Amino acid sequence: MVQLPVYLDNNATTPMDPRVLEAMLPYFLENFGNAASRNHPFGWKAEEAVDYAREQVAQLIGADPKEIIFTSGATEADNLAIKGVFEMYASKGNHIITCVTEHKAVLDTCKHIERQGGEVTYLPVNNEGLIDLKELEAAIRPTTILIAIMYANNEIGVIQPMKAISELARKHGILVFTDGVQAVGKIPVNVQQDGIDLMAFTAHKMYGPKGIGALYVRRKNPRVKVTAQMDGGGHERGMRSGTLNVPGIVGFGKACELARLEMDQDAARLSQLRDKLETALLQIEESYVNGCRASRLPHVSNISFKYVEGEGLMMGFNKNIALSSGSACTSASLEPSYVLKALGLGDDLAHSSLRFGLGRFTTEEQIDYTIKAVTDTVLKLREMSPLWEMFKEGIDMDKIEWAHH
Amino acid sequence: MAYSEKVIDHYSNPKNVGTLDKSKKNVGTGLVGAPECGDVMRLQIEVDEATGMITDAKFKTFGCGSAIASSSLATEWLKGKTVDQAVQIDNMDLVEELNLPPVKIHCSVLAEDAIKSAINDYRKKNGLEELVFEEKIH
């Protein structure tokens, strides 16, 4: 029996692992202390729990526990890294290099930096979603202080060559920040081997709770500092004030431990399921995978089904299958995914895309169910699509004068 | 955002999906929208030339559920109306009937455009002057 509904939006958020919840529960009622309370057992217990979790988190990414700064999530960590470096290293320069397919938390922070007098280069990506290292090197200026490139993309799952990027950065004495939200806990990420100086990641994308994330800040070779964006009690080595979210941190730690121990088996199982899904859906005429298949997260697939619109497509099964589309029919702008457009996809293909994000609790029966539901709906909607009819009649749609509105 | 029951019903059981012979003199075709905008509607009417009555209407739509529902409902309303009555169909009537939320009003505007465009195509084929409509904000 297939378990419904099927949740395939794990890039948006993951369900919590019950083992994570179990670890967190004592820190709501019995052990509710403030980790900064140094003079009684309530505080000691909380501090102990935070220390232990900090080790669990650090171990997952090959860091030292002292290099973990807890935040409210990855958006805050992205902000702290970029704004914090921009302010801390103002005397060295004001130029940041990033990429057009970054998450909005990075792009909008960079826009903020520009309004503050900073300069930002937004590198393009090729049609597979990868940046060009030569273009990266060419963009480096004497005033460049930071390269901010995401580890893996949230929409297409494409993994950027972090090691090559950091080698290049190191050669020029530039810091490397990566938004590791989608990659950490899913594929091996090691800040030493990858040469990363700062990295944002979050618990709720790896079966942990929402509202807790971290910024990794390198302490040695080089020692990196960021200017605090939140002032107060001087928590987290002064880089992020605010009473620590102890239950959240405990859950984050447990989630990291589970990810470290189970990553290999999860990734192997999910890539098999993902490939099964992808192979079956590519049997549908005029369907295309978006993003580099050779350098991609094991649990993600982004597919465009030409001549059907993504939101209309999802409506055919969204009672039973949760996923997301690059179409933006509900947004005020009606603009489709900027990530897919950056790959050079026409708006029509971007509007026709679905993102499948598998997770730890996805079953093979659910994938079989999804294959059938998506295939049936695509075929049904194509029978309803004027574009499909034109395509079948051999009409060149580029030559039609569409009434743009 | 949840869809209304009526939208779901039209989406699941669309009325009058199909194609009429556009080479016939009494068939008017309207093709509106653009693939880049995420919705394209083709709406066709077949008119009894003696009475001016719309005897058949068909649509095909590339778009979201609301766009499909708007065009499906439009074809239902068109059948049995005269061309002159059909001109009166307003997008807000579709919005009301389908309970479309504000972000989906453009779907109903598109359906109204498709109706008018089909009517004008019919008028042109039959030597009548094309009607001029006030542009609606999309």
Distances, alpha carbon B132 to alpha carbons B25, B44, B117, in Å: 21, 19, 10
Residue A96's identity, in one-letter code, is: I
CATH number at residue B34: 3.90.1010.10
Give the pLDDT band of residue A174 (cuts 50, 70, 90).
very high
> Which residues does chain A have within 8 Å of residue B67's beta carbon, measured at their own beta carbons?
309, 312, 329
* Among candidates A384, A388, A403 on the partner chain, residue whose Cβ is nearest the Cβ of B14: A384
Cβ neighbours around A285 below 10 Å, total: 14
**Domain identity same for A339 and A194:** no
Q: Which one of A385, A388, A393, A398 makes the best mutation probe of the B interface by having the most chain B beta carbons within 10 Å?
A: A385
Q: Could you write out the DSSP letters of every residue in A313-362?
A: HHHTTTTTEE-EES--TTSTT----HHHHHTT--HHHHHTEEEEE--TT-
Write down how long chain A is. 405
Computed over every residue of chain B, the mean pLDDT equals 92
**Domain identity same for A238 and A340:** no
**Domain identity same for A156 and A196:** yes
CATH number at residue A188: 3.40.640.10
Domain hosting residue A41, numbered range: 18-259
**Domain identity same for A238 and A380:** no
| B132 part of a folded domain | no
| B137 part of a folded domain | no
Domain hosting residue B69, numbered range: 5-125
- Maximum CA extent, chain B: 46
**Domain identity same for A244 and A282:** no
Interface residue A286 vs chain B (CB under 8 A) = no
**Domain identity same for A313 and A213:** no
**Domain identity same for A242 and A295:** no
Q: For A297-307, what is the mean pLDDT?
A: 97
* pLDDT, position B132: 85
| B61 part of a folded domain | yes
Interface residue B98 vs chain A (CB under 8 A) = no
Q: What are phi and psi of B33, to 5 degrees?
A: 90, -175
Q: What angle do CA A127, A131, A133 make, to 5 degrees?
A: 135
Interface residue A101 vs chain B (CB under 8 A) = no
* pLDDT, position A328: 59
Work out how many domains chain A is built from and give that number.
2
Distance from CA of B128 to the nearest CA of A (A): 23
CATH number at residue A297: 3.90.1150.10
Q: For A330-348, what is the mean pLDDT?
A: 80
Give the pLDDT band of residue A333 (cuts 50, 70, 90).
low
| B101 part of a folded domain | yes
Does A329 qualify as catalytic in the annotation? yes
Q: For A320-339, what is the mean pLDDT?
A: 76
| A40 part of a folded domain | yes
| B131 part of a folded domain | no
Interface residue A312 vs chain B (CB under 8 A) = yes
| B138 part of a folded domain | no
Q: Kindly tell me if the per-residue pLDDT of A334 is higher than 80.
A: no
**Domain identity same for A297 and A366:** yes
ipTM of the complex: 0.93
Distance from CA of B66 to the nearest CA of A (A): 8
Give the pLDDT band of residue A1 (cuts 50, 70, 90).
confident
Work out how many domains chain B is built from and give that number.
1
pLDDT digits (tens, 9 = 90+) for A34-91: 999 999 999 999 999 999 999 999 999 999 999 999 999 999 999 999 999 999 999 9
Boundary residue ending a domain (A259, A285, A301) = A259
* pLDDT, position A183: 98
Interface residue A384 vs chain B (CB under 8 A) = yes
Reading the block at residue B94, the tokens are 């579709």
Alpha-helix residue ranges (DSSP H) falling in A1-159:
18-24, 41-61, 74-88, 104-115, 133-139
Ordered per-residue pLDDT tens for chain B, 138 residues: 678 999 999 999 999 999 999 999 999 999 999 888 889 999 999 999 999 999 999 999 999 999 999 999 999 999 999 999 999 999 999 999 999 998 899 999 999 999 999 999 999 999 988 888 876 655
Whether the bond into A5 is cis, omega within 30 of 0: yes
Does B64 qualify as catalytic in the annotation? no
Boundary residue ending a domain (A259, A294, A313) = A259
Q: Kindly tell me if the per-residue pLDDT of A360 is higher than 70.
A: yes
The answer to whether the CB atoms of B17 and A384 lie below 8 A apart is yes
CA distance B27 to B119: 9
Q: Which of the 8 DSSP states describes residue B46?
A: E
**Domain identity same for A36 and A156:** yes
The answer to whether the CB atoms of A404 and B65 lie below 8 A apart is no
| B69 part of a folded domain | yes
* pLDDT, position B133: 82
**Domain identity same for A123 and A214:** yes
**Domain identity same for A376 and A332:** yes
* pLDDT, position A244: 97
Computed over every residue of chain A, the mean pLDDT equals 95
Boundary residue ending a domain (A210, A243, A259) = A259
| B133 part of a folded domain | no
| A1 part of a folded domain | no
H helix or E strand, kind and range, residue B68: helix B65-78
Give the pLDDT band of residue A330 (cuts 50, 70, 90).
very low
**Domain identity same for A270 and A188:** no
Query: What is this structure's pTM?
Result: 0.93
Distances, alpha carbon A40 to alpha carbons A46, A141, A216, in Å: 10, 53, 30
| A405 part of a folded domain | no
* pLDDT, position A219: 97
Q: Kindly tell me if the per-residue pLDDT of A243 is higher than 90.
A: yes
